Amino acid sequence: MSAVYVYKPFKYFFSVIFLTWVIESGMVWMSYNDSAGQGDQEIFSLLVAAELFIPCVVALGMIFLSGSDELKRDFLSRLFGLRRIKLYYLPIVLFTMPVLAAVSIYLSTYMGESAEQFNINKGVIFATGVIPASFFLFIAPVVEELGWKGYGIDSLRSKYNFFTASMIFGVLWCLWHAPLFLVKDYYMNLLWRAGWLYVLNYFASVIAAGVLINWLWYKNRGCILVPMLVHASANLQGIFLMGNVAKCIQTLLIITIVISIVLRDKKVFFEKPSGRIGQFSD
């Protein structure tokens, strides 16, 4: 049955980016507040956590206030329908990003980088303010992907073919976190201070990884657990003391993989959008 509901990508992404930027603006201000005390540091960590929930909260609002029973059923089916997962994709889902990180570090040692990058980054084990670091490794991907794959990418692919939708999503994903480059001593701010090449690498890696995650999500018939697992496994590489050179190598490897996937699976990436809710082809 054809869907009555019409996706609203502009409304969704505008709301997500606007609300996130409001929170991140507060983070920028607080990062330059030299008089900040322990209480302010706790507020800052709560803001960091809060921004990650925005895509999910907006998506859930648009789904469950849509008045479309079909949209709600499809979302719940893809959230809890584990039978959608094709088991032979699981090794790719779970191990691609950590393996690429390890290979990239290894290759970087031939460029003069230290093998100590394989050492455990203790900063990802302990709490940041009142938020455990494990939240950002494992919980953040869950709440983010609930929004991105629960509504965001569906809204884009209702208007565009899958390749165009994935590229637009990658750009919007970058834009979503743009103010973080202004947060003093934050990861993106350190990249900015390290040089424009590393900033470009960050954007390229986000867009390429977005295409890879979207493809795995699509090939597993929209099961939302799949991108959650890929995203979490990508965050897990944070346990390594990975340098910027290794990250650039990793980006090149991901781009190479994405290009090969797009060329191999042209039907998925370039077929016309159906405009139907929950439409996936093999």
**Catalytic center residues:** 144, 177
Token digits of residue 130: 């009142």
- Long-range contacts of residues 109-115, Cβ cutoff 8 Å, at least 24 apart: 111/245, 113/243, 113/245, 113/246, 114/243
DSSP designation for 186:
S
Rg of the Cα atoms in the chain:
19
Q: How far is CA 190 from CA 2, 193, 194, 226, in A?
A: 49, 5, 6, 31
Place of tokens 């322990």: 38
Q: How far apart are the first and last CA of the chain?
A: 19
Asked if 30 and 44 touch (Cβ cutoff 8 Å), the reply is yes
Cα three-residue angle 221-224-230, rounded to 5 degrees: 100
Q: Is 5 left (phi over 0), alpha (psi -120 to 50) or beta?
A: beta
Write phi, then psi, for 278 (nearest 5 degrees). 70, 30
Asked if 245 and 104 touch (Cβ cutoff 8 Å), the reply is no
